[in-house]
Amino acid sequence: MFKKLIIFVRDVLDALWAIGGGLFATAWWIGLLFKDRYPLTQLLFFIPPLVMIVFGFFWLYLTLPKRFRLLQLFLFLTVFAAFGKMLLIDFRWTKAREVDRPVIRVVHWNTADGILGTESIVSTLTRDQPHIILISEPPRAKELPAMAHYALGMEHLLMRGTMTLASHFPLENERAIPMVNGQAWAADAYTLQGPLTIVCVDLISHPNLNRKDSMNNLADWLEKNDRYPTIILGDFNTPRDSIAFRPIRKTFHHAYEAAGRGWPYTWPIPLPLYAIDHAWVSSEIETVAYHLMPTRYSDHKRQVMDIDLLPITQTETSPKP
């Protein structure tokens, strides 16, 4: 009797082990194929390929060779597909370009409210030698404007909502951008290469968030207000291959895809699994270099990029009628 009970429990555990492995792999495939097109698949879309790889190896290692052979083949192919997704879709291996004139260095960093120290954050940004900085979830310190001025030499500062924009160049023409499930605003920086519109975006962090409406709001605004060469920066809390970005991709390209190299994910530190911090640039801008820099002072990597404003005619910089 006791022996039969042990066999029964073993069979139940075997079945649960097999069902669990098959369901998890199936869920990952659904997320890969349908992405965030539907509310249910949106949750599955957030299963990182690295998690699928680790789970698959663990499952295959602990499964006896002669059991669940078809299921083992399915898990093996899923692990292989997850590797392919990382290396062929998520990763880029481009080299920094060379230009014959000074570039504009732009940095974006979500500093998680500066809970690990405002001075450490400012010191880190100083080493990046930026011309323009966007900080998402900036430190809540009254001294931040003074630090930006004295440590970074940035006299121009805009602090709106959950974002702070600092620049060596004058910032003018600030305007709000209507957006559901987040906030966005824009300002024009008058650089030595010419005017540059900087669009700052911060979306709410939630797996079930409707990101399509937010990006449609942004795309509509950009269509009517892309007066100057434009860069869109921020913490979108949305993976780079999301369907929600399709309206943006019609006229913008991702800075990492143009000039990035290596590990593409930005959150969470110390082992980022999601690419949720982004920089999108319009066709009038060349991304010369793009780096995701590790840090000890936030749970996000920071984006550090060099951009070059391509020469354009006077008529192209005129306001739209």
**pLDDT score of 50:** 97
pLDDT above 50: residue 320: no
Q: Locate tokens 């299921």: which residue?
A: 71
Residue 92's pLDDT band, with cuts at 50, 70 and 90, is very high
In the chain, % of residues over pLDDT 70 = 93
82, β-bridge pairs: none
**pLDDT score of 315:** 39
- Report, as an integer, the average pLDDT of 168-190: 96
Q: Locate tokens 């890969």: which residue?
A: 32
pLDDT above 90: residue 132: yes
Token pair listed for 209:
């968030």
**pLDDT score of 313:** 55
Contact 96, 289 (CB under 8 A): yes
Q: For 3-56, what is each residue's pLDDT tens digit?
A: 766 766 666 777 788 889 999 999 999 999 999 999 889 999 999 999 999 999
Residue 185's pLDDT band, with cuts at 50, 70 and 90, is very high
Tell which wins on pLDDT, 97 or 85: 85
Residue 84 CB: number of other CB atoms within 10 A? 12
Distance from C-alpha of 203 to C-alpha of 205, rounded to nearest angstrom:
6
Residue 226's pLDDT band, with cuts at 50, 70 and 90, is low
Least confident piece of the model among 181-185, 226-230, 266-270? 226-230
Distance from C-alpha of 189 to C-alpha of 46, rounded to nearest angstrom:
35
Report the chain's mean pLDDT, rounded to a whole number. Answer: 91
- Segments in 159-294 forming alpha helices (H): 211-225, 246-249, 255-259
Q: For 274-318, what is each residue's pLDDT tens digit?
A: 999 999 999 999 999 999 999 989 999 999 999 999 986 543 444
Token pair listed for 245:
């970005």
**pLDDT score of 9:** 67
- Report, as an integer, the average pLDDT of 46-69: 89
Going from N- to C-terminal start, the domains of the chain cover 2-90, 96-317
Q: In Å, how far are 99, 100, 107, 164 from 307, measured between CA atoms?
A: 10, 12, 11, 20
Fold of 96-317: Deoxyribonuclease I; Chain A (3.60.10)
As a whole number of Å, the CA-based R_g of the chain is 23
pLDDT above 50: residue 192: yes
Distance from C-alpha of 97 to C-alpha of 143, rounded to nearest angstrom:
37
pTM score, two decimals? Answer: 0.91
DSSP 85-127: IIIIII-EE------SS--EEEEEEE-GGGTT-HHHHHHHHHH
**pLDDT score of 160:** 93
Contact 106, 231 (CB under 8 A): yes
pLDDT above 70: residue 321: no
